[in-house]
Amino acid sequence: MNKHHSRLLQRTYLVLIFGFMYLPIAVLIAYSFNENKSRTVFSGFTLGWYKSLLHNEMILSALGLSVVLALVSSVLATVLGTLATIGIHSMSRKSQLIINNISYVPVVNPEIITGVSLMLLFVLCGRLGIGGDNGLFGWTTLLIAHITFNVPYVIFNVAPKLRQLDPSLYTAALDLGCTPRQAFFKVLLPQLSPAILSAFLICLTYSIDDFIISYFNCGTMQTLPIAIYSMTRKKVSPEINALSAIMFLVILGIILISNAADSHVYRKNQAAIRRDAAGQKEVEAA
Amino acid sequence: MNRIMRRFLVSGVAAASLVAALPATALAEAAPIQVNEDIQVSGDYDWTRFADEHITLNVYNWGLYISDGSDESVDVISAFEDLTGISINYTTFDSNESLYAKIKSGGANYDVIFPSDYMVGKMIEEDMLAPLDYDNIPNMANIGSEYLGWGFDPDNTYSVPYMWGTTGIIYNTTMVQEPPTSWADLWDVEYAGNVLMFNNSRDAYAIAAKKLGLSLNPSSVEEVTTVMQELQKQKPIVQAYVMDEIFDKMEGGEAAMAPYYAGDALTMIADNPDLAFVSPTEGVNFFVDSMCIPVTCKYKEAAEMFINYLCEPSVGYQNCDYIGYSTPITAVWEMLDDDLKYSPIAYPDEEVMQKAEAFVTLSDEVNSALDQQWSEMKSYDENGNGWMVVVFLVAALLISGWNITRKMRKRMRDDY
């Protein structure tokens, strides 16, 4: 095979992969502008579904619940998970192994088991009188459930980064006069922050995505995936296409902005390093 | 005409008996209350008695099954909130079974739920529903008598009809030689690969049972087995077992025939005029989605007020218009356009209705046999693509074998 052929093969492969990844989204966005409700016949362009989405209280309140739940549960899970990671890190090797394996179980466990077992637990709590007359079900149970399945993801995101850190950094900070708290906030946390941020984003996505666990623990509330699922006897409304298109664009926007910010910081750092190096040379020359 | 006369007569009699029962309220006819431009409710009902109590009702309905303000419809829920000061927490489910599971598990307390016929029966049997106090639901008199007193709740002690419909065959006139007339046409080999089928055990079973001339409510496991064999025979012809995908497939001309609910057939025909609908001669399934109150309900009287509100003609009209299913409220039917009012799809004639059968609750034994045989039927593969498994296995073995030898060879080489 000559070079030209292999180049062609590489290109085709890339196009195929990206096609599979992004074509469905493109189709979905295209049909959000379709005049009729069909998902096969395109009859004309309209922005009507976007307008009607703004008036659909059920979808909007489900979206609101999903977003608030995702934000609150991810923040709490990230804090809990980060603290847990640091705690686990300073344990003995054996207990580290045990704790890590225990926290790994919820990740590999099928969601349905997590969902049903949490529900049974909450029902039991209700029977025991916890949560008053109304039982716990609703916001409380949803939040607990989401934090529960999010914490392990934080641990497994932050732990490798913590392991990579030079342990003497923390000791050095103490040597140089930091209190343990200062050493944590000024030395440890800044080093871990990329891992913590990515853990937070993963939690956010899992939480917005989650259907099964929420389904069993939502009580009389309704997250967005549940609202969409319940439309399947009739026909899923094109308003959902419109909503998905907006969500996709928002996420794309966030990614682009954060990348731009990252590269800005990187360039600034590089420039500073170069300036320093130049300054050093001047000093040496003098 | 006969049927229409009967409707008038019956609602008249019902109204008369109501007058006898509640002389004080019914005699003094108060002016109707106008809630907004499209909705007015009866004036001789105390709608505001809970206005100061900050009640929230949890309502659990089918998805897209109320006029909620989307798609330029009228928002009947917020109109109720404006009228009564009661707030509604409105959530939705996708099937009778998930409604049942949710309530049975104790994971949520609802005040008003909307199960279909056989699920109403099941919930009554298991003492999950509270008997309704019809003093709080005077609009029950608006419901046509042909929708009351079906087998699942003979005296309507627990349920008020919300929407109803029948099943039938929707077909593409350009893809069939001759319009189908019976369920047996779904077994016609001529349309192999062009027939869709319900992806839900109860509805699919009903079709095969009707084809065989049996009841759609099996009484024994043997009966289930016979009917399932009939479905098994149909399987090679079936393109796919579907629920809501049917809209796209039929509208897009991907299949020639499919059984579905009459109300949805109207929607599909509106989008693709090549489609048509027929009520098969063997008899169809008549279904009623009903309004019920679970025993765990906190504010029963307020819940009854909500049910009464949904039976108001102007509210029922908005719902009927949005959902597209048939209304059990006589006054709503009178308000419809003539096209829809006399549509044989939405309101089939006496002949069809006489042969129609409603689902009733099955015994546990029969029910589990039905579920089990249904999933066996769907997963069983007659042509046996079993050899594919063997091919994959052999391929996997070969690849791993090759990998191992490669590694061994490498290690041997490294040893030198």
B172: domain CATH number?
Answer: 3.40.190.10
**Chain B residues within 8 A (CB-CB) of chain A?**
58, 60, 62-65, 68-72, 75, 77-78, 89-95, 105-110, 243-244, 247-248, 251-252, 254, 264, 267, 271-272, 323
Residues in B touching A237 (Cβ below 8 Å): 64, 70-71
B68-107 pLDDT per residue, tens: 887 778 999 999 999 999 999 999 998 898 899 889 988 7
| B358 is a domain residue | no
Same domain, B180 and B271: yes
Instruction: Tell me what ipTM this predicted complex has.
Output: 0.82
Spatial CA neighbour of B327 closest among B305, B350, B307, B346:
B346
Amino acid, res. B273: P
pLDDT of residue B386: 67
- The 8-class DSSP code of residue B245 comes to H
Q: Which of B65, B66, B247 to mutate to test the interface with A (most CBs of A within 10 A)?
A: B247
Across A44-158, the runs of DSSP E, i.e. the strands, are none
Same domain, B25 and B151: yes
The torsion region of residue B288 among left (phi > 0), alpha (psi -120 to 50) and beta comes to: beta
| B298 is a domain residue | yes
The alpha helices in B213-325, defined as continuous H runs, are 221-234, 245-251, 262-271, 300-310, 313-323
pLDDT > 60? residue B28: no
Same domain, B148 and B294: yes
| B355 is a domain residue | no
Domains of chain A as residue ranges with CATH: 57-249 (1.10.3720.10)
| B359 is a domain residue | no
Tokens 């799809």, residue? B345
Using pLDDT thresholds of 50, 70 and 90, give the confidence band for residue A143.
very high
Q: Which of A54, A58, A63, A231 to mutate to test the interface with B (most CBs of B within 10 A)?
A: A58
Query: Minimal Cα–Cα distance from A137 to chain B, Å?
Result: 6
Contact check, Cβ <8 Å, B68/A56? yes
Contact check, Cβ <8 Å, B106/A126? yes
Q: How many domains does chain B have?
A: 3
Mean pLDDT of A110-129: 89
| B194 is a domain residue | yes
Contact check, Cβ <8 Å, B271/A58? no
Residues in A touching B112 (Cβ below 8 Å): none
Considering only residues A286 and B40, tell me which one the structure prediction assigns the higher pLDDT.
B40
Q: What range does the domain containing B205 cover?
A: 165-285+365-379
Contact check, Cβ <8 Å, A220/B90? no
Using pLDDT thresholds of 50, 70 and 90, give the confidence band for residue A54.
confident
* Residue of chain B whose Cα is closest to the Cα of A215: B102
Same domain, B22 and B143: yes
Spatial CA neighbour of B253 closest among B197, B190, B188, B173:
B173
Token pair of B146, please?
Answer: 């042909």
Using pLDDT thresholds of 50, 70 and 90, give the confidence band for residue A40.
confident
Mean pLDDT of B40-54: 92
Residues in A touching B58 (Cβ below 8 Å): 220
| B24 is a domain residue | yes
pLDDT > 80? residue A93: yes
Spatial CA neighbour of B286 closest among B318, B263, B257, B316:
B263
Using pLDDT thresholds of 50, 70 and 90, give the confidence band for residue A5.
confident
pLDDT of residue B3: 43
Contact check, Cβ <8 Å, B107/A236? no
Same domain, B96 and B43: yes
B128-156 pLDDT per residue, tens: 999 999 999 999 999 999 899 988 999 99
Orientation of helix A238-285 relative to helix A3-31, angle to 10°: 130
Residues in B touching A126 (Cβ below 8 Å): 106
Rg of chain B, C-alpha, whole Å: 26
pLDDT > 70? residue A246: yes
Same domain, B149 and B193: no
CA distances B81 to A128, B78, B161, B391, Å, are: 34, 5, 22, 63
Query: Minimal Cα–Cα distance from A218 to chain B, Å?
Result: 8
Same domain, B280 and B293: no
A174-189 pLDDT per residue, tens: 999 999 999 999 999 9
Spatial CA neighbour of A246 closest among A35, A28, A73:
A28
Same domain, B180 and B325: no
Same domain, B177 and B279: yes
List the single residue in B105, B248, B252 with the smallest CB-CB distance to A119: B105
pLDDT > 90? residue A233: no
List the single residue in A40, A226, A234 with the smallest CB-CB distance to B252: A40
| B193 is a domain residue | yes
Same domain, B169 and B124: no
Same domain, B279 and B292: no
Using pLDDT thresholds of 50, 70 and 90, give the confidence band for residue B385.
low
pLDDT > 60? residue A280: yes
Task: Give yes or no for a contact between B374 and B199, defined as CB atoms under 8 angstroms apart.
Answer: no
CA distances B394 to A24, B399, B406, Å, are: 34, 9, 18
| B385 is a domain residue | no
Contact check, Cβ <8 Å, B107/A219? yes
Contact check, Cβ <8 Å, B243/A232? yes
